[in-house]
Amino acid sequence: MQDLLVSAYPWVKSLHIVSVISWMAGLFYLPRLFVHHVEQVAPDTPTDGLFQMMERKLLRVIMTPAMIATWLFGLVMVAIPGLIDWSAGWPWVKAASVVAMTWFHMWCARQRRLIAEGKNTHPGVHFRKMNEVPTVLMILIVFSVIARPF
């Protein structure tokens, strides 16, 4: 099994990176959709329905499958013996950041549902600020894995 994991590593890593890129694209875009939705669109209009459909499909068709694939391929890499030095700090920073990114994904899903139900209480500026969360987490993850400062 160990030999199979080691030989599959380049493929698993490639699939992990593609999944991360897809997930991040959605995490960057969905809060921007929320900004325009709450600032520019009246409830129960055709445009409201269009935004709801775009937000729902982005979350369900792209973001959630990409998040699941990211976790799956990441955990496969974690299972490869000797790949990660768990005594270092960087894998723990990355793991905490990925958990936080997953929380942000779930937060976006909740906000989408609240907007669709007409129960949103946040102004557009709130979604603009929250849109910075995945950027900060991405920076932490990339520097943790590539530069390994911890």
pTM of the full predicted structure? 0.93
CA distances 81 to 66, 75, 133, Å, are 25, 12, 32
**Average pLDDT of span 5-14:** 92
DSSP for 4-41 reads HHHHHHHHHHHHHHHHHHHHHHHHHHHHHHHHHHHHH-
Per-residue pLDDT band for 128 (boundaries 50, 70, 90) equals very high
- The mean pLDDT of the chain is 96
Query: Rounded to the nearest 5 degrees, what angle is found at the Cα of 8, between the Cα atoms of 140 and 23?
Result: 35
Q: Which pLDDT score is estimated for 145? A: 95
Q: Report pLDDT digits (tens) over 42-95.
A: 999 999 999 999 999 999 999 999 999 999 999 999 999 888 999 999 999 999
Q: Report pLDDT digits (tens) over 96-127.
A: 999 999 999 999 999 999 999 999 999 999 99
